[in-house]
Amino acid sequence: SQTIHQWPATLVQPVGSPLSLECTVEGTSNPNLYWYRQAAGRGLQLLFYSVGIGQISSEVPQNLSASRPQDRQFILSSKKLLLSDSGFYLCAWSVSWNEQFFGPGTRLTVL
Amino acid sequence: QKEVEQDPGPLSVPEGAIVSLNCTYSNSAFQYFMWYRQYSRKGPELLMYTYSSGNKEDGRFTAQVDKSSKYISLFIRDSQPSDSATYLCAMSAGHSGAGSYQLTFGKGTKLSVIP
């Protein structure tokens, strides 16, 4: 069966510090991978998606970036965090049009 | 007009009640419809999905799609305290030109089932 991991689970970082969130998927090959941010009252915001190694599409221009160094690994990064980057970050995977499966999420607080 | 509208609630019901959760949408290209359940501080989990118009039942849950009205619903029968969560609707037009499968989400309805 497929599983998706995200770490860390929670993170508190100062403004201006770097960020690296990691997501890995097990039990499937060549999945589509997604990064979402969920802020209170704003729903799920798609940040990046990837259809293959090294292929990244950005949905929202911002100070975040994503990389996919391996088939089942997706990384979300920032060189300098802003207060507005606080939120709940979710990684998801899919292989079909009808379902995306989400990870447990990382709660990021920028102080 | 937003692509997907969902009443944020909160919705509070007594245990055993029938719950109706709804979303409306504006994009007539949507043809795949999903409901996710999200417990506090957890990732969303897929609860139901349907294709095109009609009903789909799974235990106490029934998903209903009316494409002519651009309206989808999730019904929960005999609601339980464990059903207390935020419910998000999501929809997709299917395969995109980029080869990825993108979903458009509602903002979620927070449900509390009171014992």
- Which pLDDT tens digit goes with each residue over A16-34? 999 999 999 999 989 999 9
State the smallest CA–CA distance between residue B115 and chain A in angstroms: 26
pLDDT digits (tens, 9 = 90+) for B1-28: 678 999 888 999 999 999 999 999 999 9
Interchain contact A51–B (C-beta under 8 A): yes
CB B100 to CB A90 under 8 A? no
Burial A39-78 (b: 16+ CB within 10 A, else e): eeeebbbbbbbbbeeeebeeeeeeebebbbeeebebbbeb
Dihedral angle sign, alpha carbons of residues A58, A76, A46, A5: positive
Interchain contact, A32 vs B101, CB within 8 Å: yes
Residue-wise pLDDT tens digits, A60-110: 867 999 999 999 999 999 999 999 999 999 999 998 766 899 999 999 999
pLDDT of residue B97: 56
Q: What's the confidence (pLDDT) of residue B96?
A: 58
Whole-number pLDDT of residue B98: 54
Distance from CA of A72 to the nearest CA of B (A): 15
Count of Cβ atoms closer than 10 Å to residue A107 Cβ: 15
Q: What is the pLDDT of residue A62?
A: 79
Distance CA B40, CA A87 (A): 14
Strand ranges, E, within A1-111 = 3-7, 10-13, 19-26, 32-39, 43-52, 55-58, 64-70, 73-78, 87-94, 101-102, 106-110
- Taking an 8 Å cut-off on Cβ atoms, the answer to whether A100 and B95 are in contact is no
Model pLDDT for residues B17-62, shown as the tens digit of each residue: 999 999 999 999 888 899 999 999 999 999 998 887 889 999 999 9
Burial class (CB in 10 A: 0-12, 13-18, 19+), A30: exposed
Percent of chain B residues past pLDDT 90, beyond the cut: 73
Contact B95 A97 (CB under 8 A): yes
Instruction: State which H helix or E strand residue A96 sits in.
Output: none
- Average pLDDT for chain A: 92
CB atoms within 10 A of CB B106: 27
Band of the pLDDT at B99, cuts 50, 70, 90? low
* A31-69 residue pLDDT tens: 999 999 998 777 899 999 998 999 998 888 679 999 999
